[in-house]
Amino acid sequence: MEVLATVDDPEIGKPITELGMVEEVVVQGARVGVRVKLTIPGCPLKDRIQREVTEAVTRLDGVDDVQIAFGSMTDTERQSLSASLRAEKGAANAELDNPFASADSTTKVIAIASGKGGVGKSTVTVNLAVALAKQGFKVGVLDADIWGYSIPRMFGVSGKPVAFEGMVMPLQAHGCKVISIGFFTDPDRSVIWRGPMLHRAIQQFLGDVHWADLDFLVCDLPPGTGDIAISLAQMLPNADMLVVTTPQQAAQKVALRAGKATEQTGMSVAGVIENMAGFTDPDSGTTHDIFGSGGGEELAEALGTEVLARIPIDPRLREGSDSGVPLVVSHPDVPAARAITSIAEGLASRRGSLVGRALPLTMS
C-alpha cells in the first residue's frame, strides 16, 4: 500500500490509495494481485494506471509478477469522491463557485494580455507556465482566448477532458494542467459566441474544472478589451496582469489600452514583457532591431510599472509552439528561454505578497 500510494490518478492528481481506488491487494509468494477501481468505466488513462501500478509494485523486493484487475466505482462511491473533491476547493454546495476569487485563496492568478494579436502572447503564456512548473510549482493554464485558442497545440496536448460527477478533469502536459475550448470543439469550425455564452464558458472553466491545489493559474486572454477580458477581470479581481507587446510603437499604443483597462476592473498590472526584442545574427553577432525599439519601456512608463524581460527573436520559439514542445523545455539555456525563466523566477519570489490585494475587513 505504501508503494501504491506513490501512484497518482493521472486526471485527479491524487494517490490512488487516497481516492479509494485500491479495492484489494493479494500476495501469494512472489506474485502480487491488485484490484483497482477506476473512477469511471472505460477510463481513457487505464493503460497508464496499469503501467505505473506495475512499475511501483515491481520495485518491491521479492516481487516477480504483478497482476492487475480493473473494476469501476459505484455511483455512490463516485458521488462521495466528487463531494470530497469539491469540499477541498470550497465548492461543496456551489455549482459555479470560483475558488480563485476568495480572499483566502493561495493561488496566484496571472493574466497574460495584449492589445492586438500577433505579438506572441500565447507563446509567452505557455513558456512562462512551463517555466513555473519546472521550478516545482503546481500550475494551471486557462485558455480564455475562446475565438482564437492556440494553447492545446502549443502544449502538444489533445483529446477530450473527462467529466466526473459534474466536474471536468483538465488535461496535462509539461507539468501543467490545461483547459481550453479547443478540447470541446471541432478544430475546423469557428466558435461564434457572444457575451452571455462567453461569460458562462469562463465561469465553467473556473468553477467546474477540478484544478485542485494550484500555486499559479496562468490565463491566456484574447487580445484587446472585449467581453472575455471584462468577465475574467470581474471573476478574478485579485489577478495580476502581464502585458505583452513588441518594441514597435503601433503595438505599444494598443497594448496601452489593454493595460489601462485594469483601472476599471480591479486587476493590477504587474509588468510588461517586450517580445521580439531584436534578432542576433548567429554568424556576425550583430543585433538587428527588426521591430524597432523602445516600445516596452514606453508602455511600462505609461502604465506605471516595469519591463520584466525582453525576449529576443528566436526561430526555435516559434518552432516549439508549432511542435508542442516549449522552448524552455527544448532549449532552456538560449537567451529567449532564459528571459522567460527570469520572469517566472520573479513571479515566484513575490508570489506571497499581499500588496495590491483585496483583503476582507471586519468592523467592530
Extended strands (E) in the chain:
22-28, 31-38, 65-72, 108-114, 139-143, 163-164, 167-168, 171-173, 176-180, 216-220, 240-245, 268-275, 279-280, 287-288, 307-311
Closest CA to 244 of 227, 266, 223, 268: 223
Residues 245 and 255: their CA atoms lie apart, in Å, by 6
Work out the percent of the chain whose per-residue pLDDT is above 70. 82
Mean pLDDT of 86-94: 53
Task: Say how far residue 42 (Cα) sits from the centre of its chain.
Answer: 26
Residue 20 clears pLDDT 80, i.e. is over it? yes
Predicted TM-score (pTM) of this structure: 0.75
Residue 319 clears pLDDT 70, i.e. is over it? yes
Averaged pLDDT of the chain: 82
pLDDT (0 to 100) of residue 300: 87
pLDDT tens figures, 38-83: 887 777 678 889 999 999 999 999 999 999 999 988 888 887 887 7
**CA distances for 72 relative to 8, 36, 46, 75, angstroms:** 16, 8, 11, 9
Residues 131 and 302: their CA atoms lie apart, in Å, by 28
Of 4-18, 166-180, 242-256, which gets the smallest average pLDDT?
A: 242-256
pLDDT (0 to 100) of residue 199: 61
Task: Say how far residue 227 (Cα) sits from the centre of its chain.
Answer: 21
Q: Grade residue 201 by pLDDT with cuts at 50, 70 and 90.
A: confident
Q: Grade residue 362 by pLDDT with cuts at 50, 70 and 90.
A: very low
Q: Which domains, from first to last, does the chain contain?
A: 4-73 (3.30.300.130), 108-349 (3.40.50.300)
Q: Grade residue 364 by pLDDT with cuts at 50, 70 and 90.
A: very low
Q: Grade residue 6 by pLDDT with cuts at 50, 70 and 90.
A: very high
CA Rg, the chain, in Å? 23
pLDDT (0 to 100) of residue 99: 78
Mean pLDDT of 297-317: 90
pLDDT tens figures, 97-137: 677 877 778 899 999 988 777 889 999 999 999 999 999 99
pLDDT (0 to 100) of residue 51: 93
Q: Grade residue 299 by pLDDT with cuts at 50, 70 and 90.
A: confident
How many beta carbons lie within 10 A of that of residue 129, not counting itself? 33
